Amino acid sequence: MQESSSGYGDYSHETFQALVNQPSGNHPFTHDTFPVFSGSALTYKANCLKNYSSFIQQRETRVKALTALGVVSFFWGTTWVASREGVKYMPALQLAAIRQFLAGAIYVIFFIAKKFPWPKGKEWGHIFILSFLNLFITNGLTTLGVKYIPAGLGALIAAIFPLWLVILGIFRPNSKMPLTAVIGLLFGFSGICIIFYEHLKEFFNPDFRFGIFISLTASITWASGTLYTRRKAREFNPYFSIGLQMVISGIGLFIVSWLTGLKVPLDQVPWQSWASIGYLVIFGSLVSFVAYLYALQHLPIGQLSIYAYINPIVAVILGAVLLGERLTPTIGVGGLVTLFGLWLVNETFRKRA
C-alpha cells in the first residue's frame, strides 16, 4: 500500500510481493494460464494458432504492465507535490484523514460488492497493526512533514526506507549483513548528508528540524510495517484489508485532529485542498494502486523496483517546477548518491532471495 504522505504509495513493492504470494482464491487478480497442447498432426495447425495467440496476448500483457509501471513511477512521485500544496491551506492531519477515509471507503465498497468475506478473529489484529504502522503513523507523519520541508526532500527521505529494512534486519536472530549491503547503506546515508548540507542553514529553524525528524520517523515505521507484512501476509486477506486499514487510519486521524483542535470545518476547506485530496484519492490511492498490482503480477521484481528510484526524482523536479523548491547541483548529486545506495541494497537482497 510509499500512498503517501502519499509517496509511499500506500504500500511498497516489498510489501506487495508478500501480498501477491497468496493462494489465488484470496485475491481478485489471477494470472492467465495457457495449456500445452499435444496430439495428432490433425491438431497441429490449431495448436500453432493457439500458441501464437498466446504469444500475442503475453506480449500485449507485457506492454500493459510496462505502461502500468510508468503510471506508478510518475503518479506516486506527484503525490508529494499534491500533499505539499494541500497542507498550505488546511491542517495536514485532517487532510490525511479525509484522503485515507475516502480512498478506503471506495475499496471497502468494491470488495463488499464482490462479496469478499469479512476478516475474522486474529485477522483483525493484523489489520489494526498495519493500519497503525503504515497509514496512521507513516502517512500521517509524512503528510505533516511536507508542511515543514520541501516535497522533494520528503520524497528522498521516504525513499531510504530499504536502508532501515537492512538495519532492522540486523537484530533478527542469525542474520548477517552482506558487504555490498553495508556499502549501500554508507552510500545511502552519505547521499542524505550531502542533501542536508545544502539545507544546513535551515537546520536553525525548529520547524524544519521537526519536519526532518517526523519524516525520518515515518520511514522507519514504514520499514517496520513492511517487515511485519512479510511475516504475516498469509494469515489474512491483504487486498480487502487495505481498504479497511485506510478507513481505520482515517478515523484515527480524524480523532487526533479533533482532540488537538487542528481542524477546520469542512465547508471552510478551500478548493485548493479539496483538489489536492481528490488528486491523492484518485491518482495516489486508486489508479496507481491498481496499476501497481497489475505490474507486480506481470513484471520481474527487479524491473518493478525501478519505480522506487523514479518517484523521488519526479517529486524533486516537480517540486522545483511547480512549487519553486530549491534544486541545486548539490541536491542533485546527493539524490543520485542516495539512490545508488538504495540500488546496491535492493540488488544485494534480490540476488539472495
* Exposure string for 54-91, b = 16+ CB within 10 A, e = fewer: beeeeeebeeebeebbebbbbbbbbbbbbbbbbbebbb
Q: Is 2 exposed, middle or buried (0-12, 13-18, 19+ CB in 10 A)?
A: buried
Where are the chain's structural domains?
Answer: 6-352
Q: Please give the grid coordinates belonging to residue 299.
A: 513484471
With a cut of 90, say whether residue 251 has pLDDT above it: yes
C-alpha–C-alpha distance, residues 244 and 225, integer Å? 16
Tens digits of residue pLDDT in 194-203: 888 878 788 8
Tell me the average pLDDT of the chain: 80
With a cut of 80, say whether residue 321 has pLDDT above it: yes
305 or 276, greater pLDDT: 276
Tens digits of residue pLDDT in 98-145: 999 999 999 999 989 988 888 888 888 888 998 999 899 999 999 999
Q: What is the mean pLDDT of residues 161-166?
A: 76
* Sole residue written with cell 465498497: 109
Look at the alpha carbons of 144, 150, 155, 158 in this order and tell me if their dihedral is positive or negative.
Answer: negative
Q: What is the mean pLDDT of residues 204-218?
A: 93
Q: What is the pTM of this model?
A: 0.77
Q: What is the mean pLDDT of residues 289-302?
A: 76
What pLDDT does residue 158 have?
87
Q: What is the mean pLDDT of residues 311-321?
A: 90
Q: What is the mean pLDDT of residues 251-277?
A: 94
Residues 6+ apart with CB under 8 A from 295: 65, 66, 68, 69, 72, 304
* Exposure string for 152-161, b = 16+ CB within 10 A, e = fewer: bbbbbbbbbb
What pLDDT does residue 82 have?
95
What pLDDT band is residue 1 in, cutting at 50, 70 and 90?
A: very low
327 or 86, greater pLDDT: 86
Tens digits of residue pLDDT in 4-59: 444 455 555 555 455 545 554 454 544 444 444 445 555 655 666 666 566 667 77
What pLDDT does residue 242 have?
83
148 or 39, greater pLDDT: 148
What pLDDT band is residue 83 in, cutting at 50, 70 and 90?
A: very high
Q: Is 329 exposed, middle or buried (0-12, 13-18, 19+ CB in 10 A)?
A: exposed
With a cut of 60, say whether residue 91 has pLDDT above it: yes
With a cut of 60, say whether residue 284 has pLDDT above it: yes
304 or 145, greater pLDDT: 145
Q: What is the mean pLDDT of residues 158-181?
A: 73
